[in-house]
Homo-oligomer: A and B are copies of this chain.
Amino acid sequence: MTLPLSEDLWPDVRPETARRLMAAAVQSFAERGYHATTTRDIATAAGMSPAALYVHFPAKSAVLFAISRSGHQRMLTTVERVVAGAPDDPPVAMRALVEKFVAWHANRHVVARVVQHELNALPPEDYAVVADLRRRTEQLVRDVITAGVEAGAFEVPDVRTAARAVLGLGIDVSRWYTPSSKPAPDELGRQYADLVLKMLGHR
């Protein structure tokens, strides 16, 4: 029993109509880019009228913001859970973090591309909310690396650059991954986790 895509992606969004509009927007933004997509395109792709869209979202940018905030919130929550699950073992936390982060960007490459690459189209006040989620996620990754260095498990000359590299590796997967890519998302996550642990000097 698989959930419809929109429910799996946005379990916290209600009603289903709003989720359907978000899923239609992801497809349209991915195909044509944000700027070339109209609210009419989104509504039509969702099988609705433009007026029905405005019931849920005051503007096209509000749909992008909902998609972007939700994607970033999910990544932050994923990282928070992983860190909480292995508070005293930075290598275990880092392995789980990379596995989940990479698998998500492979499985959800279409929505991830919109989440990661249309940031500049967000209105400033919306961008600030998303930027804060990104900062908190990056800070958690840095904290895991720092804890690993202090415990003697990692050897890292520059924690900030290492954290960017870890996140960048995962995000980049959404750029090239397609349904026919190999290996499968979970296996890619394991391989990338091995590479990251070596990159961080873990023996």
CB atoms of B158 and A191 under 8 A apart? yes
A65 contacts the other chain (Cβ, under 8 Å)? no
| Residue interface bits A150-172, CB-to-B below 8 A is 1, else 0 | 00000001100110110011011
A10 contacts the other chain (Cβ, under 8 Å)? no
Complex CA gap A95/B199 in Å reads 14
Name A's interface SS.
helix
Complex CA gap A165/B199 in Å reads 11
CB atoms of B36 and A191 under 8 A apart? no
Task: State how many angstroms separate the Cβ of A138 from the closest Cβ of chain B.
Answer: 10
Task: Please give the count of copies of this chain that the complex contains.
Answer: 2
CB atoms of A173 and B183 under 8 A apart? no
Interface residues of A in 23-44 (CB under 8 A from B): 32-36
B residues less than 8 Å from A169 (CB atoms): 165, 168-169, 172
Known: A32-B36, A161-B191, A168-B172. 19 other contacts (CB 8 A): A32-B35, A33-B34, A33-B35, A35-B36, A36-B36, A117-B117, A157-B191, A161-B188, A161-B195, A162-B195, A164-B176, A165-B192, A168-B168, A168-B169, A168-B175, A168-B176, A172-B172, A196-B199, A198-B201
Of the A-B pairs whose beta carbons lie under 8 Å apart in the complex, a sample of 19, sorted by A's number, is: A33-B33, A35-B35, A35-B36, A36-B36, A117-B117, A157-B191, A158-B191, A161-B183, A161-B191, A161-B192, A162-B195, A164-B176, A165-B192, A168-B173, A169-B169, A171-B172, A172-B175, A198-B201, A199-B199
